[in-house]
Amino acid sequence: MLGEVLQWAQPADAILSLWLRANPKLGGRDRGEISEAVYDVLRHLRRYRRLAETGVGSAARRLAVLGLAATIGQERLAEALQPDENEWLSYAAKIDPATLSREVRHSMPDWLAQRLGDHDEPESLMQALNKPAPLDLRANPLKVERDALLAVLREGPGARYAPEPMPYSPWGIRVAGHPPVNRWPQFENGSLEVQDEGSQLLSLLVAPRRGEMIIDFCAGAGGKTLLLGALMRSTGRLYAFDVSAARLARAKPRFARSGLSNVVPVVIEGENDTRVKRLAGKAQRVLVDAPCSGIGTLRRNPDLKWRQHPESLVELTDLQHRILKSAARCVAPGGRLVYATCSLLEEENSKQAERFLAEHPDFERLDAAALLAQRVPNLALNGPYMQLRPDRHGTDGFFAAVFERKKAVARSAAQPDEAAEPSTEPTPAAPESAAPAEAGQD
């Protein structure tokens, strides 16, 4: 399994899923242990490769041994190893990680270690990115209050996973372990969804109101769309734009379970699609959760740090700029534009926001930290942006900037032939690569 993942042909979760389906005779415990060991190796790959330099056997086997020893324990693994392998593993276990360089100790490629090293308390940040993330859930406010749902989970199948209210999101519930949430009745009836707490907080920045026209410009799997629609009480119109028909098709069962009737999924060909142009100056709120490197989600997707590189960032930042520029055209005078990523890198975050402001004098920046403080007073952030970190906030690394279109701007931005709302008839899918979905827990 590990040998296939390290070819980097596809995301690790996709390869793991295919491999497990191809080996149906494996028991549930085996599947769990293999998955945990693979992800442990991906998190600590650079350090494990350094330790494996002194080992015996194939390189992939040495990495697998280290991953299994970390997840199921050296004692249990010992009976499956040769004597020289056990001797090497004991030697490797005695090496103090503090004696290794920062990039090796935290298993970061050089370029990423340098970028993260510019943050406050970089050691704490890198260490947190290498720890497995908990499972974050969210109550559907259209169907149930968080406290009522929490009480039901504590009395039913979720009790063994110690569900607790999240510290910041008013809808969030955090659980331990890996529960089969998709088989819980609360999930099946749409009362419960899976969504990282940082992703949930984006909805507080969008601040949707009943009856408004709102656009989720990069809807992806639909997690944020669902919460926005519920906060609108299923009124108004909520467009879910994405370049991938397949992604929107996967989101449709979630929309159906949620009970929402105001979501309009629209497949667009790109940021300059005519359906986007027809909404010029019409939307009160526009959310751009832009395709990004996903560096803020390394707890869940540790392979990203090995599959991303500085060259790919150049393409991503150019795409983000184009998408944000296009989405801004849809914002009505006095309307709000929220730009977000699940990244910790400045070129995808604050630098994009500053470039946008420099090129769009008809917009002004709002203090995202101050806006959140009105709803989440215990969330300490330094404005003017929202930057969440796993070591400080227990969330994925989410960034958000909030802009408002000045009311003095004339509505003449819309061309005469752009007056109609976009057609919602089925449209052909654009290539998946045009704008990848966000990597976070949507």
pLDDT of residue 410: 45
Position 414 pLDDT exceeds 60:
no
Contact in structure between 338 and 400 (CB atoms under 8 Å) = yes
pLDDT of residue 272: 83
Task: Report residue 421's pLDDT band, with 50, 70 and 90 as the boundaries.
Answer: low
* Buried residues in 372-399 as b, exposed as e (16+ CB within 10 A): beeebeebebebbbbbbbbbebbbbbbb
pLDDT of residue 433: 32
What is the average pLDDT value for the chain, to the nearest integer?
91
pLDDT of residue 441: 62
Q: Which helix (H) or strand (E) holds 86?
A: helix 83-93
According to DSSP, the residues that pair with 266 across neighbouring strands are 241
Position 419 pLDDT exceeds 50:
no
Query: pLDDT tens-digit profile of 192-242?
Result: 999 999 999 999 999 999 999 999 999 988 999 999 999 999 999 999 999
Which among 218, 292, 330, 342 is annotated as catalytic?
342
pLDDT of residue 418: 40
C-alpha to C-alpha distance for 186 and 165, rounded to whole angstroms: 16
Task: Report residue 430's pLDDT band, with 50, 70 and 90 as the boundaries.
Answer: very low
Helices (H), 94-196: 102-105, 110-117, 122-129, 146-155, 185-188
Query: pLDDT tens-digit profile of 280-297?
Result: 999 999 999 999 999 999
3-class SS string, 358-418:
HHCCCEEEECHHHHHHHHCCCCCCCCCCEECCHHHHCCCCCEEEEEEECCCCCHHHCCHHH
What six digits make up the tokens of 400?
């958000």
Residue in the block written with tokens 């150019």: 318
Is the model's pTM score more than 0.85? yes
* Buried residues in 305-325 as b, exposed as e (16+ CB within 10 A): bbebeeeebeebbebbbebbe
Which of 86-90, 110-114, 270-274, 424-428 comes out lowest in average pLDDT?
A: 424-428
Instruction: Give the pLDDT mean for 417-422.
Output: 45
Query: pLDDT tens-digit profile of 28-56?
Result: 899 999 999 999 999 999 999 999 998 77
The Cβ of residue 10 has, within 10 Å, a number of other Cβ atoms equal to 15
Position 438 pLDDT exceeds 80:
no
Instruction: Give the pLDDT mean for 386-410.
Output: 91
C-alpha to C-alpha distance for 269 and 297, rounded to whole angstroms: 27
Position 118 pLDDT exceeds 50:
yes
Task: Report residue 429's pLDDT band, with 50, 70 and 90 as the boundaries.
Answer: very low
C-alpha to C-alpha distance for 66 and 97, rounded to whole angstroms: 14
- Give the residue with greater pLDDT, 423 vs 308: 308
Instruction: Give the pLDDT mean for 140-148.
Output: 97
Position 172 pLDDT exceeds 60:
yes
The Cβ of residue 182 has, within 10 Å, a number of other Cβ atoms equal to 9
Query: pLDDT tens-digit profile of 267-283?
Result: 998 888 888 889 999 99
pLDDT of residue 138: 97
Say whether 342 is catalytic: yes
pLDDT of residue 442: 67
Q: Which helix (H) or strand (E) holds 138?
A: strand 135-139
